C-alpha cells in the first residue's frame, strides 16, 4: 500500500513534463485511494477477526448492520460476501473514505438534483480558473519584489490584498467540491450518507473547525488512527497530536511533491495548529473564538500561498535566469 504514495511521488519528481497542477491531481488521487484501501483493509480485518470467535450473534450484528439498501444491490451483505470486484469499485468511486459492508442507499436518482450539481461544478470550475488568472496571479507577481527586498510594509499590503481573492476562491472551492461534486457522485451512485461537512463557519474553537469542515477525512482519522491509538494505551493529548502530525504530513505531501520542494516552515505551521487550538479553546469564547478561527483562515492561507510561490519562483525561475 505504501506504493500508492511513493510511486506517484517518484513519477512527479522525476518526470520534468509533469506540471504542478497535474502533479496535484495525480498525488491527490493516489492519496485518496491510499486512505480508501487502508479503510478497506482494516474493516475486512475486523470482520475476519470477528468470524473467528464463537460469538456468532455479536459478529453478525457488527458485520451485517440493518440496511434497506447496500452497495450495488438491495440485499444485506455479510463477510466474506462483500469481497467482490463490484463492491470494491463501488467503494472506490463512492464519496467516502470509510468502508462499510452495507452503505445506506437512496431509492432512486433524481435527475433535476443531478443536473443542478453538474451545473454548479462547471460554473465554479470556470470561476476558479478565471479569478485565479485575472485577480490572484497579478497580485502574486507584484509580490515577488517586496518579498525579495524584505520590505515589510509592502509585503503586508500584498498579503492583505491577496487575502480577499484567496478567501473567496477557497469558499468557492469548498462549495464546488464538498457540496456540488460530492453530492453529484453520491446521487449518481445512490449513496445515502450525504454528511460531507457540518457548520464549520460557526466554529468557536480551532478544534471544532478541523473536525467539521471535512467530515470524510475526520471520520477516517477518528476510526482508523485516533481510536486505535487510544486502544493501544496512548493518552488523548498524544493521540490528538498524532492526528495533527498526520494531517500536516499529508498537507505538505500534497503540496511539496507537485511543486518539487519541501518547506519545513509549512510543516511546522500546520503543527502550530495544536497550540493555537489550545489557546483559542482556553481563552476565547463565543463570537471572539469564532473571529479567531476566521482570522486564522483568512490570513493564514494567503501567507502560505505567498511563501510557496516565492520559494517556487526562486528555485525554478531565478536559477534558470542565472
String of DSSP letters for 51-68: HHSS-HHHHHHHHS---S
Least confident of 91-100, 121-130, 132-141, 193-202: 132-141
First-residue to last-residue Cα distance in the chain: 41
Closest CA to 165 of 133, 203, 121: 133
Global pTM reads: 0.86
Q: Which cell numbers hold the place of 173?
A: 472551492
Question: Does residue 73 belong to any structural domain of this protein?
Answer: yes
Question: Does residue 286 belong to any structural domain of this protein?
Answer: no
Question: Does residue 86 belong to any structural domain of this protein?
Answer: yes
In this prediction, residues 32-42 reach a mean pLDDT of: 94
* Residue 240, CA atoms < 13 Å, CB-side half-sphere: 13
In the residue annotation, 251 being an active-site residue is answered as: yes
Q: Which cell numbers hold the place of 26?
A: 495525480
In this prediction, residues 91-108 reach a mean pLDDT of: 93
**Using one digit for the tens of pLDDT, what is the confidence trace for 112-165?**
999 999 999 999 999 999 998 898 888 888 888 887 777 888 888 888 888 888
Catalytic residue among 167, 179, 251, 310: 251
In this prediction, residues 49-72 reach a mean pLDDT of: 53
Question: Does residue 284 belong to any structural domain of this protein?
Answer: no
Question: Does residue 162 belong to any structural domain of this protein?
Answer: no
C-alpha R_g of the chain: 22
Residue 55's pLDDT is what? 45
What does the angle CA 263 – CA 319 – CA 7 come to, to the nearest 5 degrees? 50
Mean residue pLDDT of the chain comes to 85
Question: Does residue 273 belong to any structural domain of this protein?
Answer: no
| Domains contained in the chain, number | 1
Question: Does residue 13 belong to any structural domain of this protein?
Answer: yes
Question: Does residue 31 belong to any structural domain of this protein?
Answer: yes
What is the residue-wise DSSP string for 83-133? -SHHHHHHHHHSS-SS--SS--B-SS--HHHHHHHHHHHHHHHHHHHHHII
In which domain, by residue range, is 62 found? 1-105
Amino acid at each position: 500500500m505504501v506504493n500508492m504514495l511513493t510511486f506517484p511521488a517518484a513519477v512527479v519528481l522525476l518526470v520534468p513534463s509533469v506540471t504542478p497542477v497535474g502533479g496535484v491531481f495525480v498525488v491527490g488521487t493516489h492519496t485518496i485511494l491510499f486512505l480508501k484501501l487502508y479503510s478497506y483493509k482494516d474493516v475486512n480485518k475486523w470482520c475476519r477477526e470477528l468470524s473467528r470467535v464463537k460469538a456468532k450473534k455479536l459478529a453478525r450484528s457488527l458485520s451485517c448492520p440493518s440496511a434497506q439498501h447496500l452497495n450495488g444491490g438491495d440485499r444485506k451483505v455479510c463477510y466474506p460476501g462483500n469481497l467482490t470486484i463490484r463492491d470494491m469499485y463501488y467503494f472506490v468511486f463512492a464519496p467516502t473514505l470509510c468502508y462499510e459492508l452495507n452503505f445506506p442507499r437512496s431509492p432512486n436518482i433524481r435527475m433535476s438534483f443531478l443536473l443542478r450539481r453538474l451545473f454548479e461544478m462547471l460554473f465554479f470550475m470556470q470561476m476558479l480558473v478565471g479569478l485565479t488568472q485575472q485577480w490572484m496571479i497579478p497580485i502574486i507577481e507584484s509580490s515577488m519584489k517586496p518579498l525579495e527586498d524584505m520590505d515589510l510594509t509592502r509585503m503586508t499590503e500584498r498579503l492583505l490584498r491577496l487575502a480577499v481573492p484567496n478567501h473567496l476562491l477557497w469558499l468557492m472551492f469548498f462549495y464546488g467540491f464538498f457540496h456540488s461534486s460530492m453530492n453529484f457522485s453520491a446521487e449518481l451512485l445512490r449513496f445515502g450518507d450525504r454528511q460531507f461537512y457540518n457548520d464549520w463557519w460557526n466554529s468557536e474553537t480551532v478544534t471544532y473547525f478541523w473536525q467539521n469542515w471535512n467530515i470524510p477525512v475526520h471520520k477516517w482519522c477518528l476510526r482508523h488512527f485516533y481510536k486505535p491509538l487510544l486502544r493501544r494505551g496512548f493518552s488523548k493529548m498524544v493521540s490528538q497530536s498524532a492526528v495533527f502530525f498526520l494531517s500536516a504530513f499529508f498537507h505538505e505531501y500534497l503540496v511539496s511533491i507537485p511543486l518539487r520542494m519541501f518547506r519545513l516552515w509549512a510543516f511546522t505551521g500546520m503543527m502550530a495548529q495544536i497550540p493555537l487550538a489550545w489557546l483559542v479553546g482556553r481563552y476565547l469564547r463565543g463570537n471572539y473564538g469564532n473571529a479567531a478561527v476566521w482570522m486564522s483562515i483568512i490570513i493564514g492561507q494567503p501567507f502560505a500561498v505567498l511563501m510557496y510561490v516565492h520559494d517556487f519562483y526562486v528555485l525554478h525561475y531565478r536559477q534558470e535566469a542565472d
